[in-house]
């Protein structure tokens, strides 16, 4: 029980943040192909389809996203799309993760190490 | 319309979890079609790279789920069955054969071996019956048919088959072949009886 609580309170991983952000940006058109393209275009990160679906499955198990089966098309070999939507709990976790990241990053460029200057004694 | 490489698709459909199999194959096929239209030639290498880079994640995801538990159960049952047949061999079959040999000193070697083989076959039938029972209870009726125990039997007979293949078998070839010929059917007969009235039903 406490382990479950701990895992629920933990911040999201970097890739989970990217996936949830992509779901918000894509809205109702979020499925495997568009999510991958969104992450590759905006974050400049190549995404293996296996990693994407493993993450989506984990987020779904946690109740952060839900999925529904869409239409099958000829160019997909007659296979149906699987659309993903972010749930309120997922949005809440994403906000919390981004807030803690912001808190760590805010003002970071004021430090000389970030400007490539030597550390002051 | 050019389709993605058949072998890669087959491989993906094996490693992908059933819940996501259609979506994954469909997504890749859609991207494959888009890239083919854009480049004017099918991106075979791209499809294989996608397949191979996704395989580890998909396999781990499968093994963490229900299928991993089933695989662990299968391997543990195999180990238990190997242990059971070994103990049966040492504690029962050899003693029965020795007893027969001592009681009837004029008994020829082939008759002693026949007694040993009968006792061994009985042990394998018992193992097959117990394994079929435990599989049927765990996985439902679908798994209870005796023929579904073939992978299990292969694991059980693997040590003997390996020894036979590499010529390191302590027994003569003819004896080992007769041994397999007796014990394997006994195993399946035991599995058939163990599966009982549920056998063959869905």
For position B44, what pLDDT does the model report? 93
- Mean pLDDT of all residues in chain B? 83
pLDDT tens digits, one per residue of B181-192: 888 889 888 888
pLDDT tens digits, one per residue of B147-162: 677 777 887 888 778 8
Does the pLDDT of residue A32 top 80, yes or no?
yes
For position B130, what pLDDT does the model report? 84
Contact A26, A34 (CB under 8 A): yes
Q: Select from A51, A74, A82 the Cβ nearest to the Cβ of B23.
A: A82
- How far does the CA of residue B79 sit from the closest CA of chain A (Å)? 31
A107 touches chain B (CB under 8 A): no
Residue B40 half-sphere exposure toward CB, CA atoms < 13 A? 0
B63 touches chain A (CB under 8 A): no
**In whole angstroms, how far apart are CA B55 and each of A59, A77, B13?**
20, 21, 10
Q: Name the DSSP class of B90.
A: I
Does the pLDDT of residue A71 top 60, yes or no?
yes
Higher pLDDT: B160 or A102? It is A102
Number of neighbouring beta carbons within 10 Å of residue B39: 10
Which of A47, A50, A73 should we substitute to test contact with B (largest number of B Cβ atoms within 10 Å)?
A: A50
Burial (Cβ within 10 Å: 0-12, 13-18, ≥19) of residue B131:
buried
Given its phi and psi angles, is residue A69 left (phi above 0), alpha (psi -120 to 50 degrees) or beta?
beta
Tokens of B108: 């020829």
Contact B27, A33 (CB under 8 A): yes
């Amino acid at each position: 029980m406490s382990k479950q609580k701990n895992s629920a309170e933990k911040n999201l991983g970097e890739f989970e943040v990217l996936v949830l952000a992509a779901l918000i940006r894509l809205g109702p058109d979020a499925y495997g192909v568009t999510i991958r393209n969104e992450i590759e275009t905006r974050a400049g990160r190549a995404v293996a389809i296996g990693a994407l679906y493993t993450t989506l499955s984990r987020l779904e198990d946690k109740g952060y996203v839900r999925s529904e089966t869409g239409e099958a098309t000829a160019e997909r070999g007659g296979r149906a799309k699987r659309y993903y939507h972010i749930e309120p709990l997922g949005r809440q976790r994403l906000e919390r993760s981004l807030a803690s990241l912001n808190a760590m990053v805010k003002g970071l460029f004021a430090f000389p190490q970030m400007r490539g200057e030597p550390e002051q004694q | 319309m050019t389709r993605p490489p058949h072998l890669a698709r087959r491989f993906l459909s094996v490693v992908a979890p059933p819940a996501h199999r259609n979506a994954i194959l469909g997504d890749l096929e859609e991207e494959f079609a888009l890239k083919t239209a854009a480049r004017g030639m099918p991106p075979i290498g791209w499809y294989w790279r996608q397949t191979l880079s996704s395989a580890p994640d998909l396999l781990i995801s499968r093994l963490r789920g229900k299928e991993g538990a089933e695989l662990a159960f299968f391997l543990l049952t195999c180990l238990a069955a190997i242990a059971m047949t070994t103990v049966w061999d040492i504690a029962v079959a050899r003693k029965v054969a020795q007893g027969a040999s001592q009681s009837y000193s004029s008994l020829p070697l082939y008759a002693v071996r026949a007694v040993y083989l009968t006792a061994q076959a009985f042990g394998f039938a018992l193992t097959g019956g117990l394994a079929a029972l435990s599989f049927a209870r765990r996985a439902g009726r679908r798994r209870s048919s005796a023929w579904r125990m073939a992978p299990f039997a292969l694991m059980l007979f693997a040590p003997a088959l390996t020894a036979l293949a590499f010529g390191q078998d302590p027994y003569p070839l003819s004896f080992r072949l007769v041994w397999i010929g007796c014990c394997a059917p006994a195993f399946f007969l035991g599995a058939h009886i163990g599966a009982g009235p549920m056998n063959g039903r869905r």
